[in-house]
Structure 1
């Protein structure tokens, strides 16, 4: 995967497909490769641009703290380097906070956005959760840290379903041999960005069409966070999956891929 210079750091990125450019911004701890099964569907209609955010994967993992504004500027620099004046955006979790800042700081670059499991500010529980994520990263073996993340993001329905349960176990085993392990320094920087993200008062500035989407059983970024974001953005709509958690886009992948594809084509 190619690497380019943006906002003072090296960013790894990828491009697949053809059509309108679609920037995909992943969440905390995750590399751009996590979009793989979504890109496989969306690349029929869009040129999908993925990246490893600052602090993870083969992008630089400098000392933090990071901010979501800084990470939005990383994305803006990537778009400039690729000569993409306007894009559609899908941001997942931390990626949704980066997308919010991208629309606030660089509105001319945004056509429309999908904000997955977003938040506009943190309460005390959210701050503690992100801090505990760093604590676990410091103390746990990779498999145990992977289990902690799975406990945060998957709903009861996934744990009860045999195929999904087996896939989660396999992914925990793979964590031990992952060559793109996130450093504690990188996670600490990203967690700081998540904790300090506070833009609720600025969201009314976003005039582009926005779809806010999530899971009603999300214990990581609860439903109140998504509804607050949707209520603050003038031209937004909200869709929440019944019985799904933070990983609703895996738990309902067929519906999600088609739903987002259709929404982006019409916005």
Structure 2
């Protein structure tokens, strides 16, 4: 597996599949590249997909130091540099969407088109999950089940018994999980969002209460020219359960962005 060297020397593992223009896929908090395994094939025929293991996950190094969404964005830049890529399309979901915001803000020349999924501008200005959800997630005996119910509809869970790819990297050290949580909680890109110049699509499930769907229009109003699309009936893992709607929406947007539409 190839590795890139981050600014501080941390080794960032990454994966490349498919052909065509580069498309970076960014996973959620405390997850490795396997987050994208169920749907990555949807993009590989048209795009050279690039994923990475966040520091603290997968095959990447896991330094016990402060993590941030800004720093994660710099790690993505290190991967693009290692691949010799001047720019790429970027599709980030959940915390990956927060990182994608910083990519577009701090490195505008590296982002051709931007897709933000099930994400928010940060707690200071965005809509956050309820205290009840936070308490439920803090119970180790219930965490996985609570997460699954936040990610997928009951109907889907009744018919799909795993494996599940969105419950976090089980190999992560406990300190790295805490570092990821703090990094995501401290995210605040509000002031920088109006400076984003990349064509931007925002996707969100209407029934997402993990990252409330009201964040979608909030981001669309803040990012110049951005467009929000809500996927009816879907929860946080809309990109997986509702892939028949979500993946074509992303592909159509990227095609239009390439042609300046």
The two structures have a TM-score, normalised by structure 1, of 0.86
Task: Summarize the alignment of residues 191-206 of structure 1 with structure 2, pairs less than 5 Å apart.
Answer: 191-206=181-196
Alignment of 1:52-91 (within 5 A): 52-91=53-92
Contact preservation (8 Å) 1:122, 1:198: yes
> C-alpha separation between the residues in 1 aligned to 2:19 and 2:220?
30
Contact 2:62 2:176 in 1 (8 A): yes
1:130–1:109: structure 2 CA closer, same or farther, 3 Å change rule?
farther
Q: When the two structures are aligned, how many residues end up with a matched partner?
A: 253
Q: Paired residue for 1:163? A: 159
| CA apart distance, 1:37 | 2.9
Partners of 2:178 and 2:169 lie apart in 1 by 19
Deviation at 1:195, TM superposition (A): 0.7
CA deviation vs aligned residue, 1:212-251 (integer Å, no higher than 9, x gap): 0010110100012222111100121110011111011122
Query: What is the rounded CA distance, in whole Å, between the counterparts of 1:98 and 1:129 in structure 2?
Result: 26
Paired position in structure 2 for 1:33: 34
Residue 131 of structure 1 and its aligned partner are, at CA, apart by 6.8
1:2 Cα deviation (Å)? 2.1
Q: What's the counterpart of residue 145 of structure 2?
A: 147
Structure-2 residue corresponding to 1:108: 109
Q: Superposition pairs for residues 2-41 of structure 1, below 5 Å? A: 2-8=2-8, 9-41=10-42
Higher helix share: 1
Label 1:186 to 1:128 Cα distance change in 2 as closer, same or farther (>3 A).
farther
| 1:263–1:146 distance in 2 versus 1, CA, 3 Å | same
CA contact (8 A) 1:130 1:194 kept: no
Q: 1:74 deviation in Å?
A: 0.7
Matches within 5 A, 1:206-217: 206-217=196-207
Higher deviation after alignment, 252-261 or 235-244:
252-261
1:114 deviates by: 0.5
Deviation at 1:85, TM superposition (A): 0.5
CA apart distance, 1:266: 1.7
Q: Choose 221-230 or 115-124, whichever is displaced more.
A: 115-124
Are the counterparts in 2 of residues 130 and 191 from structure 1 also a CA contact under 8 Å?
no
Counterpart of 1:258?
248
Q: Which runs of 5+ in 2 are unaligned?
A: none
Residue 242, structure 1, aligned to residue 229, structure 2: no
Contact map agreement 1:68 1:97 (CA 8 A) in 2: yes
- Shift of residue 147, structure 1, vs aligned partner: 2.0
- 1:218: which partner in 2? 208
C-alpha displacement of 1:59 = 1.1
RMSD: 2.4
Cα contact 1:104–1:206 (8 A) shared by 2: yes
